Structure formats: structure tokens, C-alpha cells
Amino acid sequence: MNKFYLLVAVLSLASCQKKQEEKSDTKLKADSVSTDIKVVKVPTKSLSESDSAKIWLIEKIEENFKTADGLIDKICTKSYAEYKSDAIGIDYDGGLTPKAFEKKWKGKFDLKYAGTGTGFLISGQDWVNIKVIKCELSHVKLKESYLFETLIEDVGATTKTIYKRDIKVVPSGSTFLIADVLEY
């Protein structure tokens, strides 16, 4: 009879142990209910280099007219900045004569679109709020650069003036630079 009680005690103990493990598993399963948030990856379309150049150009044109000194030396190639500076200063004290300007820059730039005697990007001297109202990649394909057909407006000026410019932009490291502006 002693053996019988011992056997019942062992079986009871084993049964209790089994129920305890099942309870523990159930609790563990309840505690580990998935709190994972499913992340749905939306395919992102990275900008093309021409799109990046366009965004950069619009930003720099508008920023240029908000700074006191302008950004010509920071946003243009060294060659174009010098060319435009010479074009602005033709016949002014210390500036080139038209013949000297032509001799220096002929073959490097299209001189009939230089905007001689006028400012950088716009011909007006006083402006209120310069905005780019159009900037589209031209259908003209250029090697290693982009040509943007651009309209620039002085929003807020008493007289509505829109400046049509074709602007050549070249990649430069991780940014871009203006390499030429055709002023019409």
C-alpha cells in the first residue's frame, strides 16, 4: 500500500508539474503577442541628376537676389563669372571695350547673348522679389551639362517684367554650377 501512495503522489506531482508548464506556456504566448509593426516599404524614386540640377538652379537664382552681394562667384563657374563680370563692365571705368571683350571671349561664349551692360540673370537694377516662374529642361541635349529654359519674374514690382534665360548648368562635385546664361 505504501508503494501505491508513493505512486499516486509521484503521478500527482507530475500532473501538477505538467499543468504548471502549460499555464506558463499559455502566459508566455499571451505575453509575446506580436507587437511588431509591419513596415511597408514604399518604393522611393530617387531624383535624376537633371531634376537635382533644376531644384538647385531655382533655389540659387532666388537666393542670389536675397543676399546683399549676390552669389555669382559661388554659383557660377570661374570662367562664366569672369565673362559676365566683363560683360557687365563694358565701357565703364576699368571695364573692357566692346572690341577687347569680343577678342577675349569670342569662341568661348555666344557673345550676342552676353547681356552686356546689364546685371547677372536680370537686366533690372532694382528688384522687389525675384522668383523663377518656369524652369524646364531643354530638348537640346548637351554633353555633361543641362540647359534649362527659364523665366524669371520680379514678383511685386510695379511693372511686370519677365526675363527669359537659357541657363547651362554643369555638375561640380556634389553640387552644380552655372556655366553660361543666354540672355534674350
In a domain, 102, yes or no: yes
Is the per-residue pLDDT at 126 higher than 80?
yes
Backbone torsions φ then ψ of 97, nearest 5 degrees:
-80, 160
**Confidence (pTM):** 0.74
Q: Cell numbers at residue 123, please?
A: 537686366
The parent domain of residue 172 ranges over 49-183
In a domain, 160, yes or no: yes
Q: Is 121 left (phi over 0), alpha (psi -120 to 50) or beta?
A: left
* Structural domains counted in the chain: 1
Over pLDDT 90: what percentage of the chain?
63
pLDDT digits (tens, 9 = 90+) for 73-90: 999 999 999 999 999 999
Exposed / middle / buried, residue 106 (Cβ in 10 Å: 0-12, 13-18, 19+) = exposed
In a domain, 12, yes or no: no
Residue 60: closest CA among 155, 132, 153: 132
In a domain, 44, yes or no: no
In a domain, 134, yes or no: yes
In a domain, 16, yes or no: no
Query: In CATH, what number is assigned to the domain containing residue 140?
Result: 3.10.450
